[in-house]
């Protein structure tokens, strides 16, 4: 499975961005995998942002993004998106999408088997 993340960029505080992660290869539809988004700021560890369960039945968010970010999946397009609203400077990071073949969902990096290359999100104050 190969994951391609896109949609990052520069935005002012309070603005919005939409990240997409498209899976290719042995996918059987994105709902065959649990999918997640993580982010990593300079000098910090990679942290969990959001996840959608295998089958798309549940979503999970870090407390820092609840109410502002929404994760969703399009099984027909093998795509998972992260809609980010009310962005803050502290949301600045490289964002990574990930897929898990075994877990229903996961909120830690160890729970994921496949990773995309990352896309930069910069929020200016």
pLDDT at res. 102: 86
Q: What is the residue whose two structure tokens read 């505080």?
A: 13
Dig out the tokens for 83 from the structure.
């809609």
13-52, pLDDT tens digit by residue?
999 999 999 988 876 555 688 999 999 999 999 999 999 9
pLDDT at res. 27: 62
100-110, pLDDT tens digit by residue?
988 999 999 99
pLDDT, mean over the chain: 93
Q: Are 98 and 36 in contact (CB under 8 A)?
A: yes
């Amino acid at each position: 499975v190969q994951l391609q993340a896109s949609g990052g960029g520069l935005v002012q505080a309070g603005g919005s961005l939409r990240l997409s992660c498209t899976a290719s290869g042995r996918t059987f539809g994105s709902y065959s995998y649990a999918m997640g988004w993580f982010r990593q700021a300079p000098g910090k560890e990679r942290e969990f942002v959001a996840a959608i369960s295998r089958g798309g039945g549940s979503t999970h968010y870090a407390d820092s993004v609840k109410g502002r970010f929404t994760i969703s999946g399009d099984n027909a397009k093998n795509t998972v998106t992260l809609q980010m609203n009310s962005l803050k400077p502290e949301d600045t990071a490289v964002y990574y999408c990930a897929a898990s073949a075994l877990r229903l969902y996961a909120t830690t990096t160890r729970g994921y088997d496949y990773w995309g290359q990352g896309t930069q999100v910069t929020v200016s104050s």
